[in-house]
Amino acid sequence: MDAKIFVQILEIAFNKKVSDVHFETENPPFFRGKGQIIRSKLPNLTSEDTEFIANQILSHHNRRWEADQKEFDTSFSLPSGARFRVSIFRQRGSFGIIMRVIPAYIGTFEDLRLPPVLGEIVTAPNGLVLVTGPTGNGKSTTLASMLRHINENFSYNCITIEDPIEFLFSSDKSCIIQREVGIDTDSFSSALKAALRMDPDLIMVGEMRDKETIEASLMAAETGHLVLSTLHTQGAVSTINRLIGHFPPDAQEIVRHRLADILVATISIRLIMNKTGEFILPVLEIMRGTTTIQSCIREGRLDEIEGHMENSRSQYHMQTLDQHLIQLHEQDLITIEEAKRLSHSMDLERKLMFTN
């Protein structure tokens, strides 16, 4: 492996619009395309090859691998403008590298097949908006699309705190400041505290990883700012439980009340293959902080939330995951097998029969 071959592999990945590139010892480079892992026909990588790749990425940031270090997240860019989010890790004594392709173009809601209600949600004057879902299901892309909508339509001062910075923004109607953890700031929580002194209208936090970041995000939302962030949860109820669970038992009731007051919406996203296998579609659960939802959160009646979401589709544009799966199936976009695979419900098939 040399620098020229490494760059060629990344250029191919970027131009072919794959989502990820994997470099691991004793295997050729792997690509992920249309949700599937694709084994390349290149030679197997040695431990020297993966160490070379890791050092190429680290030197890009004037960093070195510390002796006691086990993993490192960063970004990487090519002279052509292609950009990647990178995870470097140790496995069986060697380096492994997974590089997520960051699209050069930030899609609109229409481009990404996201519902227009996201534009309404993201223009709330203050509060907390959470985009949730498993890794690799489009949380960052959805957040970027929401920020694009703000940038094109409103005069806001927007501050992003990311680890690493993914999509690069140019200020349009809004002013956008992007800070990277480890380079521009020490941590999410310290950057959040600093952001409050930077005249923000909107603060985007790449990920709520710990209690300190959650507490700082709640405080920013409570003091009149709009805060956008992500969590690795699969739905509204699990998101609320995860947030509250970061706090000690004697503080959880207070946190629940605080959350009820500021939660604008949770948007839980999963990706599903379309019927022809040619492209991937987003499936969204959307919960909005209506008076009824606020009461459920405040009083701990979380088991009632899904029912309220189902009944508020026409009025508030809320929807459950199953409702969106049923809609996509009725539009003949996905198979019933794919719908059942993604659903959390044991009776999705019965719901499909009922709607037909």
Per-residue tens of pLDDT for the chain, all 356 residues: 899 999 999 999 999 989 999 999 999 999 998 888 999 999 999 999 999 999 999 998 888 898 888 899 999 999 998 999 999 999 988 999 999 999 889 999 999 999 999 999 999 999 999 999 998 899 999 999 999 999 999 999 999 999 989 999 999 999 999 999 988 999 999 999 999 999 999 999 999 989 999 999 999 999 999 999 999 998 999 999 999 999 999 999 999 999 999 999 999 999 999 998 888 999 999 999 999 999 999 999 999 999 999 999 999 999 999 999 999 999 999 998 899 888 877 777 777 766 55
In angstroms, rounded to a whole number, what is the distance separating the alpha carbons of residues 278 and 275? 8
C-alpha count within 13 angstroms, C-beta hemisphere, residue 349: 6
Q: What residue spans define the domains of the chain?
A: 3-102, 117-319
Alpha-carbon Rg for the chain, nearest whole angstrom, is 21
Domain 117-319 grouped into CATH 3.40.50.300? yes
In angstroms, rounded to a whole number, what is the distance separating the alpha carbons of residues 41 and 43? 7
- Neighbouring residues of 6: CB distance < 8 A, sequence distance ≥ 6: 52, 53, 56
- Residue 146: name the closest of 107, 88, 172, 92 by CA: 107
Residue 136's pLDDT is 84
Cβ 269 vs Cβ 284: under 8 Å: yes
Cβ 274 vs Cβ 334: under 8 Å: yes
Cβ 128 vs Cβ 265: under 8 Å: no
Residue 34's pLDDT is 81
83-91 β-sheet, strand order: 36-39, 30-33, 20-23, 94-102, 83-91, 71-77
The answer to whether the Cα torsion of 206, 207, 212, 214 is positive or negative is positive
Cβ 244 vs Cβ 257: under 8 Å: no
| Residue 284: exposure state from Cβ atoms within 10 A (0-12, 13-18, ≥19) | buried
Q: Three-state secondary structure along the chain?
A: CCHHHHHHHHHHHHHCCCCEEEECECCCCEEEECCEEEECCCCCECHHHHHHHHHHHHHHCCCCCCCCCCEEEEEEECCCCCEEEEEEEEECCEEEEEEEEECCCCCCCCCCCCCCHHHHHCCCCCEEEEEECCCCCCHHHHHHHHHHHHHHHCCCEEEEEECCCCCCCCCCCCEEEEEEECCCECCHHHHHHHHCCCCCCEEEECCCCCHHHHHHHHHHHHCCCEEEEEECCCCHHHHHHHHHHCCCHHHHHHHHHHHHHHEEEEEEEEEEECCCCCCEEEEEEEEECCHHHHHHHHCCCHHHHHHHHHHCHHHHCCECHHHHHHHHHHCCCCCHHHHHHHCCCCCHHHHHHHHC
- Tokens of residue 69, six digits: 């270090």
Give the orientation angle of helix 236-245 with respect to helix 252-262, to 10 degrees: 130
Domain 3-102 grouped into CATH 3.30.590.10? no
- pTM for the model: 0.90
